[in-house]
Amino acid sequence: MSVDLDLLKTPGPTITALTAPFWQAASEGRLAIQSCEACGKAVFYPRPICPHCWSDRLAWREASGGGRLKSFSAVHKPGHPGWLPAVPYVVGLVELDEGPTMLSFIAAGEDACAVGQSLVLKPTRIGGRLLPAFKPSAMAGSTTPNQTGDTLMSTQTKDGWIGVIKGRPQVGAFAERSRRTRLEDIEAFTEMTGDRNPLHYDKALAEASVFGKLIVQGGVTSGILNALVAEDLPGPGTVFLEVGWKFVKAVGVDEMITGRVEIKEVRQDKPICKIETSVRNEAGDICLAGTATVFTVPLAKA
């Protein structure tokens, strides 16, 4: 086909926070799929629980990019008009080396396809985005106008995340953690820091203030983010290098707060990432919002 696939007006993916790591990898010319840490099986498409054993311990892994063509079709009458300039084009069912099957674009003519043949990942620009397409591996080395992924694949630098317990996080990955604030939090924080602000202790005074209630120290609110980065994402070994936080709304005693971190940028050469951080109260109102840079010390025993 002579048409430039990148210029097609085809529908793109409907990405959610859960599936974002797949599409982030795709945009970098890589194929990332989930792997179940309980039963060891590979999972595609992305889910919050493993469809084999229902464990919720799913980790993102780089797929080999190899597969087998289970079936294919040359599409003459596409289901979406955006594909019309490209007909006939080939779609196929690709059984990945890891086990699961995905549907993909096959960057080859119908005559070059045969059920059972080996395929390799061939990131291809379609409709303005880089997608994980495949091509017959016998064609490896040949070039087509859409070959942009191969160069991206080869420009990988040294992996700065080796030895990090939970590995390199994916852009778009997020974690949440909730806890209920208690009067004891205020006392523990005072014990630690000496902060005896009457807003935290004098109920009458606090209720008459702009806050209208006893409030916990800001450190109690932001503390949930310390737990999040150290326990969940990027995980054990993580420390803050820099934070930029706005305390938008005060948190009272006996309030359920939910902290959230989301990976925005990941450095390849060093275990450093930029994250978006927030803490919300039970009503969903933002109490703390901002960004931070974190460093994750490699603690995994070789």
Partner 1 sequence: MSLARSRGAIAGIGELKPTRRTEGRTTLEMIAEVSRLAVFDAGLEPGHIDGLLVGPQVGETPQHVPATVAEYLGLKPDMANVVDLGGASGAGMVWRAAAAIEAGMCEAVLCVLANTREEVPARSPNRNPIREFDVPFGASGANISYALLMQAHMAEHGSSPQGFAAIAAWARANAQRNPDAIFHGKPASIDEVLASPMVASPLHLLEIVMPVAGGEAVVVVSAKRARQLAKPAVHLLGAGEKVTHRAVSQAPSLTSGPLKPAMARAFAQSGTRAAEMNLLSLYDCYTIMVAATIEDAGLCAAGQFGQWVRDHDLGPSGDAPLNTHGGQLGFGQPDLAGGMTHVVEAVRQLRGEATGRQIANAKLALVTGNGATMSEATALVLGADQ
54 near partner 1, judged by CB under 8 A: yes
Residue 61, amino acid: R
> What's the closest the beta carbon of residue 75 comes to partner 1, in angstroms?
5
Contact 169, 233 (CB under 8 A): yes
The span from the CA of 194 to the CA of 249, in Å, is: 23
List the one residue from 4, 56, 254, 265 that touches partner 1 (CB under 8 A): 56
Dmax (CA) for the chain in angstroms is 82
* Exposure b/e, 6-16, CB count within 10 A at least 16 = b: eebebeeeeee
Find which of Zn ion, partner 1, none residue 39 binds, CB within 5 to 8 Å per kind: Zn ion
User: What is the bridge-based pairing of β-strands 238-247 and 286-296?
Assistant: antiparallel
List the one residue from 15, 47, 52, 82 that touches Zn ion (CB under 5 A): 52
Q: How far apart are the first and last CA of the chain?
A: 50
List the one residue from 1, 3, 6, 18 that touches partner 1 (CB under 8 A): 18
> What's the closest the beta carbon of residue 157 comes to partner 1, in angstroms?
29
- In DSSP terms, which residues pair with 104 in a beta bridge? 92
27 near partner 1, judged by CB under 8 A: no
The residues, any chain, with a CB within 8 Å of residue 244's CB and separated by 6 or more, are 290, 291, 292
Contact 292, 230 (CB under 8 A): no
Nearest CA to 41 out of 21, 30, 25, 55 is that of: 55
206/275 with CB nearer partner 1: 275
162 near Zn ion, judged by CB under 5 A: no
49 near Zn ion, judged by CB under 5 A: no
Find which of partner 1, Zn ion, none residue 77 binds, CB within 5 to 8 Å per kind: partner 1
Contact string (CB under 8 A) for partner 1, positions 62-101, x = contact: --------xxxxxxxxxxx--x--x-xx-xxx-------x
Task: Show the DSSP H helices in the chain as ranges.
Answer: 20-27, 149-154, 183-193, 198-201, 203-208, 218-227
Contact string (CB under 8 A) for partner 1, positions 116-145, x = contact: x---------xx-x-x-x------------
| Binding window for Zn ion (CB under 5 A); candidates: 15-23, 31-39, 172-180, 292-300 | 31-39
Residues that bind partner 1 (CB under 8 A): 10-19, 45, 47-54, 56, 70-80, 83, 86, 88-89, 91-93, 101-105, 110, 114-116, 126-127, 129, 131, 133, 282-284
